[in-house]
Structure 1
Amino acid sequence: MIIPAFDFLEGKAVRLYQGNYLHKKFYNINLYEHFIEYKKKGVKIIHLVDLNGTKNVEKRQLKLFKEIISYTKIPIQIGGGIRTEKDINTLFELGFKRVVIGSSAVTNKMEVKKWFKIYGSNKIVLALDVNIINNEKKILINGWLQETNSTLEEIIDFFSSENLKHVLCTDISKDGTLSGPNTILYKEIVRRFKHIQFQASGGVSSISDIFSLKKTGVSSVIVGRSLLEKRFTIKEALKCWQNE
C-alpha cells in the first residue's frame, strides 16, 4: 500500500529534516481536500505524527486530531509520544485505527508486550528508527536524540512472540531528505522476517523510488514530503504500486 503521511507541529503540517526540530518546513495545505482526494483515489490508510506529543505528552494536539477524524472515513494510524495505556485508549476513543509505538518498544518492553495482549497485533505498529553503521542497525529513541544498544533484529525477535505484525522501519539518514530510500535495508529485513508487514519510510522522492521499494517485498510505503511538494500525485503513486 501507499500510505500518505502528515506530521503536525503546533497545529500545522510540517516536515523535519532527519528528525531535527530546528530544521523544519511548514506546509500550508487544505487537509480536508487532501483527504477527500485520497478517499476518491482509493487510499486505504493514512499515517499521522504528533510532533508536539513526541516532545511533551501534555501538549498532544488532541483537538486537531479529533477534527481530522471527524472528516474522513479513511483509517488512520497515529504516532508521537505514546507511552501509556491511557494514551492508547484516548487515541482509540477518538477513532484512530492503529497506534504507532516508538521509544517505549525499547525502554518499556514488558509494558508494550502487555499492550499486544490487550489490543491485538493488528492495532499496534512498532516504529523502529535505525542508524546503520557497519550494517549494525542500532535503534534511536526520544526523537532520535538517543542511540540505544538495541538492534532492529533484537526488538523484532522480542515482540514476535506476541504475533508482531506491523513494523514501520526508518533509516534516519534518509528521513525528509528526498535522497532515495535504503532498498538494501528493506530487502534484507523482508527476507529475514517473513511474518512482518513492513512499512518503509524515508527518502522517497520519485515514482521510481516506489517501484524500487515494491520490489523489496515491503508491505507499504510511507510517503510524506514528496506528496506535499508535488513531486508526484497520489494517483501516480497508487498506480505505480498496483502495476509493478
Structure 2
Amino acid sequence: MIVLPAIDMKDGRCVRLRKGDFDTVHQVAAGALETARRFADAGAKWVHMVDLDGARDGVRKNFPQIFEVITQSGLQVELGGGIKSVPDLITVVEAGAARAVVGSAAVTHPEVVDYAIAQWGADRVAVGIDCLNGKVRTAGWEADSGLDFLDFARQMEERGVRTLIFTDIAADGMLSGPSYGQLAALQEAVGCQIVASGGVTTLDDVKRLRDMGLYGAIIGKAYYAGTLDLAEAVKEAGAQC
C-alpha cells in the first residue's frame, strides 16, 4: 500500500479544513515545498495535493507553489482541485503531475475522465469520490449530487477508471478513524484501486487499511497534529511505488 501525505493549498498557504468546511480553514505548515521535502525525507514517494481555491471557484492562485512541489520535491504528485474541464486537465498533466484527480467534473462532465484515459491512460487519472451520508458531493464538497457513491463508482469503472479516491467527508480532519465499512463496500462493488482518505489517524489505521488490501491511504491532519509518524506509516504500509 502506498502512503500519500497530503498538502491542501488555499491562498498560497498549507491548510486543513474540518469536514470540508471552508469556515474552519487554518494554516498547518510553512511552505508547500518545504513540507513536501519533509515527506520525502520520511520515505514517502507520493504527495496528495489539493488546490482548494481551484475546487471552490476555479481560480488557480496556488499553482506557483504546486508547480514547485512537482518540479523540485522529488515526489510524485497526485493533484486535485479545480479540474473542471479538458483544458484544466491538460494544464495539470502538462505541468508534470503524476496523477490528476477529477472530482466534481466526473459527475457533471464525465467526458473529462474519458479524455484523460484516452489521452494518457488510466494510470494518470483518478476519480475522487467525496461522500457524505452515502451521497457524492461536488463543488468543493458543498453540493449534493444525489448520486449513491457505490452506483457512481460502478459507473466510473465502466468508463475505464482504475483508481478511486474515497473521502468520507464526515471523517475528514476529525482524527476519528477511516470509514472502514464504506471502504469495504466499495471494495465489494468495484475492482478498482482504492485510496482511503479522511480520518486516518493512527498507525493501527494504516495497518488495518493495508490488511484490507487497499491501494493507498492519504494522511492529512494526523501528520500535522502529530498523531501519526509518517516514517513509521510508510514502513508499515510496505513498498512505495
TM-score with structure 2 setting the length? 0.92
Stretch of structure 1 that moved more, 53-62 or 169-178: 53-62
1:17-96 alignment, distance < 5 Å: 17-96=18-97
> Secondary structure of the equivalent of 1:3?
strand
Aligned CA RMSD, in angstroms, stands at 1.8
Moved over 4 A (4+): none
Q: Name 1:207's counterpart in structure 2.
A: 203
**Contact 1:117/1:162 (8 A) holds in 2:** no
2:126 is matched with which residue? 125
Contact 1:77–1:96 (CA<8 Å) still a contact in 2? yes
What per-residue deviation string (whole Å, max 9, x for no partner) do you get for residues 100-141 of structure 1?
000111111234323322222111110001122xxxx21111
Partner of residue 172 from structure 1, selected from 165, 169, 172: 169
Q: Residue 9 of structure 1 aligns with which residue?
A: 10
Aligned position for 2:194 = 198
- Deviation, 1:67, is 2.0
Structure 1, unaligned stretches of length 5 or more?
Answer: none
Task: Measure how far apart 1:30 and its partner are.
Answer: 4.8
User: Which of structures 1 and 2 has the larger relative contact order (alpha carbons within 8 angstroms, sep 6+)?
Assistant: 2
Query: CA shift at 1:201, angstroms?
Result: 0.5
Deviation larger for 179-188 or 210-219: 210-219
Post-superposition Cα deviations, 1:24-79, rounded to whole Å, max 9, x if no partner, equal 22123354444334334432211000011112223442222222223122110100
Separation of aligned partners in 2, 1:156 and 1:30: 35
**Cα drift, residue 8 of structure 1:** 0.6
Q: CA deviation at 1:6?
A: 0.7
Specify the alignment match of 1:148 in structure 2: 145
Secondary structure at 2:73 match in 1: coil
Residue segments in structure 2 that go unaligned for 5+ positions in a row = none
CA distance in 1, matches of 2:38, 2:155: 39
How many residue pairs end up in the alignment?
238
State the partner residue of 2:225. 229
In structure 2, distance between residues paired with 1:35 and 1:99 = 18
TM-score, normalization by structure 1: 0.91
